Amino acid sequence: MKNLKDKVAVVFAASGEIAGAVARSFSQQGAKVYVTARNLDAVNELAREIKAGGGWAEAAKVDAMVEAEISDFLEKVVADNQRLDIVFNGIGADYNEMGGRPATTEATFEQFMAPIQKICGSQFLTSRAAARYMIQTHSEGTILLLTAALSRSKLSNVAGITAASVAIEGLTRVMATEWGKNGIKVICICPGAIMETKRISGWIEAAARQYGMPLEQLIAQYKSLDILKTSLTLKQVGETAAFLASETGVAFNSHIVDVDCGKLNIL
Amino acid sequence: MKNLKDKVAVVFAASGEIAGAVARSFSQQGAKVYVTARNLDAVNELAREIKAGGGWAEAAKVDAMVEAEISDFLEKVVADNQRLDIVFNGIGADYNEMGGRPATTEATFEQFMAPIQKICGSQFLTSRAAARYMIQTHSEGTILLLTAALSRSKLSNVAGITAASVAIEGLTRVMATEWGKNGIKVICICPGAIMETKRISGWIEAAARQYGMPLEQLIAQYKSLDILKTSLTLKQVGETAAFLASETGVAFNSHIVDVDCGKLNIL
Amino acid sequence: MKNLKDKVAVVFAASGEIAGAVARSFSQQGAKVYVTARNLDAVNELAREIKAGGGWAEAAKVDAMVEAEISDFLEKVVADNQRLDIVFNGIGADYNEMGGRPATTEATFEQFMAPIQKICGSQFLTSRAAARYMIQTHSEGTILLLTAALSRSKLSNVAGITAASVAIEGLTRVMATEWGKNGIKVICICPGAIMETKRISGWIEAAARQYGMPLEQLIAQYKSLDILKTSLTLKQVGETAAFLASETGVAFNSHIVDVDCGKLNIL
Amino acid sequence: MKNLKDKVAVVFAASGEIAGAVARSFSQQGAKVYVTARNLDAVNELAREIKAGGGWAEAAKVDAMVEAEISDFLEKVVADNQRLDIVFNGIGADYNEMGGRPATTEATFEQFMAPIQKICGSQFLTSRAAARYMIQTHSEGTILLLTAALSRSKLSNVAGITAASVAIEGLTRVMATEWGKNGIKVICICPGAIMETKRISGWIEAAARQYGMPLEQLIAQYKSLDILKTSLTLKQVGETAAFLASETGVAFNSHIVDVDCGKLNIL
Interface contact D259, partner C, CB < 8 A: yes
Q: Which of C132, C237, C117, C115 is CA-nearest to residue C175?
A: C132
Lowest mean per-residue pLDDT among A100-109, C29-38, D129-138: A100-109
DSSP A120: I
pLDDT at A207 over 90: no
What mean pLDDT, rounded, does chain B reach?
95
Q: Interface partners of C (3+ CB pairs, < 8 Å)?
A: A, B, D
* Neighbors of chain A by Cβ distance (3+ pairs < 8 Å): B, C, D
pLDDT at residue A1 in the model: 61
Q: Which residues contact C89 (CB under 8 A, 6 or more apart)?
A: C11, C12, C13, C19, C64, C122, C123, C126, C127, C144, C145, C146
Residue C264 located in a structural domain? no
Q: Is residue D266 part of a domain?
A: no
Contact assignment for D177 to B156 by CB distance below 8 Å:
yes
CA distance A47 to A14: 10
Directed axis angle between helix C159-179 and helix C121-136, to 10°?
Answer: 10
Give how far B29 is from chain D: nearest CA, Å.
29
CB contact under 8 A, A163 and C158: no
Which of the residue ranges A210-219, D41-50, D248-257 would you say has the lowest mean pLDDT?
Answer: A210-219
Mean pLDDT (chain C, rounded): 95
The whole-number pLDDT of residue C37 equals: 98
Q: Read off the CATH number of the domain in which D178 is found.
A: 3.40.50.720
Torsion angles phi and psi, residue C201, rounded to 5: -65, -35
Work out the number of other CB atoms within 10 angstroms of the CB of residue C58: 17
**Does A265 contact chain D (CB < 8 Å)?**
yes
- At residue D256 the predicted structure's pLDDT band, cuts being 50, 70 and 90, is very high
Q: Are residues C215 and C145 in the same domain?
A: no
Residue A40 CB neighbours (<10 A): 14
Which percentage of chain D shows pLDDT scores above 90?
Answer: 81
Domain identity same for B220 and B119 = no
Considering only CB atoms, C267 lies closest to which of B152, B227, B264, namely B152
DSSP D141: -
Confidence band of C152 (pLDDT split at 50, 70, 90): confident
Does residue B233 register a pLDDT over 90? yes
Return the bridge partners of B61, or none. Answer: B37
Over residues D134-190, the pLDDT tens digits come to 999 999 999 999 999 888 889 999 999 999 999 999 999 999 999 999 999 999 999
Partners of residue A107 in chain C, C-beta under 8 Å: 128
Q: How confident is the model at residue C1 (pLDDT cuts 50, 70, 90)?
A: low
Q: How far is CA C140 from CA C30, C137, C170, C174, C189, in A?
A: 18, 9, 22, 17, 19
**Residue A92 placed within a domain:** yes
User: Does the distance separating the beta carbons of D154 and A267 come in below 8 Å?
Assistant: yes
Spatial CA neighbour of B192 closest among B160, B165, B158, B156: B165
pLDDT exceeds cutoff 90 at B99: no
Closest CB to D128: pick one of B104, B116, B156: B104
Cβ-in-10-Å burial (0-12, 13-18, 19+) of D190 comes to buried
Does C227 share its domain with C209?
yes
Pairing of strands D86-89, D8-12: parallel
Q: Which residue has the higher pLDDT, A165 or D198?
A: A165
Rounded Cα gap, residues B254 and C61, in angstroms: 52
Asked whether the beta carbons of residue A185 and residue B237 sit closer than 8 angstroms, the reply is no
Average pLDDT over every residue of C72-99: 92
The mean pLDDT of B94-116, rounded to a whole number, is 90
β-partners of residue D256 are: D188
User: Of A40-44, A151-155, C65-69, which gets the smallest average pLDDT?
Assistant: A151-155
Q: Residue B216, class by beta-carbon neighbours within 10 Å (0-12 exposed, 13-18 middle, 19+ buried)?
A: exposed
Bridge partners of residue D226, in order along the sequence: D263
CB contact under 8 A, D264 and A154: yes
Alpha helix (H) residue ranges in chain B = 17-28, 40-52, 67-81, 109-115, 121-136, 159-179, 198-211, 215-223, 234-245
Contact C257, C240 (CB under 8 A): yes
Residue C175 per-residue DSSP state: H
C chain contacts of residue B267, beta-carbon cutoff 8 Å = 152-154, 267
d(CA A39, CA C147): 38
Of B117, B151, B176, the CB nearest to D170: B151
Nearest partner of C14 among C30, C31, C26, judged by Cα: C26
Are residues C210 and C83 part of one domain?
Answer: no
Query: How far away is chain C from the Cα of D102, in angstroms, using its nearest Cα?
Result: 32
* Number of structural domains chain D divides into: 2
Question: Within this chain, do residues C248 and C214 fall inside the same structural domain, yes or no?
Answer: no
Say which range, A90-99, B18-27, D70-79, has the weakest mean pLDDT.
A90-99
- The pLDDT tens digits of the residues spanning A213-230 come to 898 888 888 889 999 988
| Secondary structure (DSSP) of B133-193 | HHHHTT---EEEEE--GGGGS--SS-HHHHHHHHHHHHHHHHHHHHHGGGT-EEEEEEE--
Task: Check whether residue D57 and residue D118 sit in a common domain.
Answer: yes
Close Cβ partners of B49 (under 8 Å, ≥ 6 residues apart): B24
How far is Cα D177 from Cα D181, in angstroms, rounded to an integer?
A: 8
- The predicted pLDDT at position B1 comes to 61
Please report residues of A whose CB lies closer than 8 A to that of D265: 154, 265
Q: Which of B5, A173, A91, A5 is nearest to C155 (CA)?
A: A173
Q: Tell me the pLDDT tens digit for each residue of C164-192.
A: 999 999 999 999 999 999 999 999 999 99
From chain A, the residues in CB contact with C166 under 8 A are 166-167, 169-170
**C154 at the D interface (CB within 8 A)?**
no
Q: What is the mean pLDDT of residues D227-244?
A: 95
Q: Tell me: pLDDT of D96 over 80.
A: no
| pLDDT tens-digit series, residues C11-49 | 999 999 999 999 999 999 999 999 999 999 999 999 999
Chain D CB contacts of A158 below 8 Å: none
Higher pLDDT, B138 or D222: B138
Instruction: Give C208: exposed, middle or buried? Use CB within 10 Å, 0-12, 13-18, 19+.
Output: middle
- Find the largest Cα–Cα distance for chain C: 57
CB-CB neighbors (< 8 A) of B176 in chain A: 227, 262
Q: Which residue of chain B is at minimal alpha-carbon distance from A187? A: B262
A109 touches chain C (CB under 8 A): yes
- The reply to whether A171 falls in a domain is yes
What contacts A157, CB < 8 A, 6 or more positions away? Answer: A101, A102, A103, A104, C174, C178
Q: Provide the H-helix boundaries in chain C.
A: 17-28, 40-52, 67-81, 109-115, 121-136, 159-179, 198-211, 215-223, 234-245
Whether the pLDDT of residue D1 is over 80: the answer is no
Q: Mean pLDDT score of chain D, rounded to an integer? A: 95
Q: Is A171 on the interface with C (CB under 8 A)?
A: yes
pLDDT for the residue numbered A227: 96
Q: Are A91 and A119 in contact (CB under 8 A)?
A: yes
- Whole-angstrom distance, CA of residue B95 vs CA of residue B203: 10
- pLDDT computed for residue B37 by the predictor: 98
Q: Is residue C78 part of a domain?
A: yes
Q: Do C224 and C139 have their domain in common?
A: no
The reply to whether B25 and B112 lie within a common domain is yes
Name which of D229, D253, D262 is nearest C176 (Cβ-Cβ): D262
**One domain for residues C51 and C125:** yes
Domain extent at residue D211: 195-231
Lowest pLDDT segment from A60-64, B134-138, C9-13, C96-100? C96-100
Residue of A nearest to B255 (CA): A262
B195, B216 contact by CB (below 8 A): no
Confidence of residue D229 (pLDDT cuts 50, 70, 90): confident
Residue D231 has pLDDT above 90, yes or no: no
Instruction: pLDDT band for B7, please (50, 70, 90 cuts).
Output: very high
Query: Does residue B81 lie in a domain region?
Result: yes
pLDDT (average), residues C201-209: 86
pTM, two decimals, is: 0.97
pLDDT the model gives residue C190: 97
> To the nearest whole angstrom, how far is the Cα of A49 from the nearest Cα of chain D?
41
Q: CA of A152: which chain D residue's CA is closest?
A: D267
The β-bridge partners of C142 are C86, C185
Average pLDDT value for residue range A231-245: 96
| φ/ψ (deg, to 5) at A61 | -90, 110
- Decide: A71 and A110 in contact? Cβ < 8 Å: no
Cβ contact, residue pair A107, C120, below 8 Å: no
ipTM of predicted assembly, 2 dp: 0.95
Q: Report the pLDDT value the prediction gives residue C231, as an integer from 0 to 100.
A: 87
Number of separate helices (H) and strands (E) present in chain C: 9, 7
**Chain C residues in contact with A162 (beta carbon < 8 A):** 170-171, 173-174
One DSSP character per residue, A50-92 reads HHHTT-EEEEEE--TT-HHHHHHHHHHHHHHHS---EEEE---
The amino acid present at D95, given as its one-letter code, is Y
φ and ψ at C73, to 5 degrees?
Answer: -70, -45
Length of chain C equals 267
| The one-letter amino acid at D90 | G
Q: For residue C64, give the 3-state DSSP assignment.
A: coil
In a 13 Å sphere around the CA of D15, the CA atoms on its Cβ side amount to 15
DSSP A193-232: --TTSHHHHHHHHHHHHHHT--HHHHHHHHHTTBSSSS--
Inter-residue contact D3 to D246 (CB < 8 Å): yes
Please answer whether residues B165 and B233 qualify as being in contact, where contact means their C-beta atoms are separated by less than 8 angstroms: no
C115 and C208 part of one domain: no
Is the Cβ of C265 closer than 8 Å to some Cβ of chain B?
yes
Query: In angstroms, rounded to a whole number, what is the distance separating the alpha carbons of residues C193 and C158?
Result: 15
User: Residues A34, A74: one domain?
Assistant: yes
Lowest mean pLDDT segment, chosen from A205-219, B77-91, C74-88: A205-219
Q: Is residue D267 domain-resident?
A: no
Counted across chains A and B, CB pairs separated by less than 8 A come out at 97
Rounded CA separation D234/D25 (Å): 10
Note whether D227 and C253 are within 8 A (CB). yes
Residue C243: list chain D partners with CB under 8 A. Answer: 243, 248-249
Whether B203 and B150 share a structural domain: no
Residue A264 lies in a domain: no
Handedness of CA A217, A219, A225, A227 (dihedral sign): negative
Interface test with A, best of C132, C171, C185 (most A CBs within 10 A): C171
Cross-strand pairs, A9: A33, A86
Cα Rg, chain A, nearest whole Å: 18
